[in-house]
Amino acid sequence: METATLKNQASRFQELLEQRGLKCTYERKQIFDEVMHLREHFDADSLYERFKKRGLRISRDTVYRTLPLLLESGVVQKSAGAGHRDFFERIGIKGHHDHIICVKCGKIIEFQCEDIEKLQDKVCNDYGFKLSFHDHRLFGTCKECQ
């Protein structure tokens, strides 16, 4: 199951590269592999730092340019975190989910709502859009902070 997901996501990434006429470079493969090992949310710079620590010559810019490709191929999704960084996380076994964020204490809760996902598809369909990915964040006050 896990292996199936990995294979599936690898091929989806490959397919996107092909479709766009993008080359399957060493760096893109490394970034894909590294992301597949991450279990928590992350940002571009922390991913870059991991390569730096391992002594791999992958530039910050390449990381920044590759993440949108992983987004669009469904390997990662938008996530939530502190500050104004872009956060990502791998779409693993638990699958896609969205986030509720407490504006007081910063607590983040993940939620899954199949009905919302379906409605999103419908909305996009209505407008002739092909949905690629989305970013859905609910901001409010958690029970403890109210």
- Rank residues 6 and 108 by Cβ distance to a second copy and give the closer one: 108
- Rank residues 106 and 118 by Cβ distance to Zn ion and give the closer one: 106
Helix (H) or strand (E) holding 98: strand 98-102
Centre a 10 Å sphere on the Cβ of residue 20 and count the other Cβ atoms it contains: 11
67 phi, psi to nearest 5 deg: -55, -45
Specify the 3-state DSSP secondary structure of 103.
Answer: coil
- Asked if 16 interacts with a second copy (CB under 8 A), we say no
Strands 98-102 and 42-43: unpaired
Give which of DNA, a second copy, Zn ion, none residue 119 binds (C-beta under 5 to 8 Å, depending on kind): a second copy
Q: Which x/- pattern, by CB under 8 A, does the window 94-133 give for a second copy?
A: ------x-xx-----x-x-x-xx--xx--xx-xxxxxxxx
Residues that bind Mn ion (CB under 5 A): 98, 136
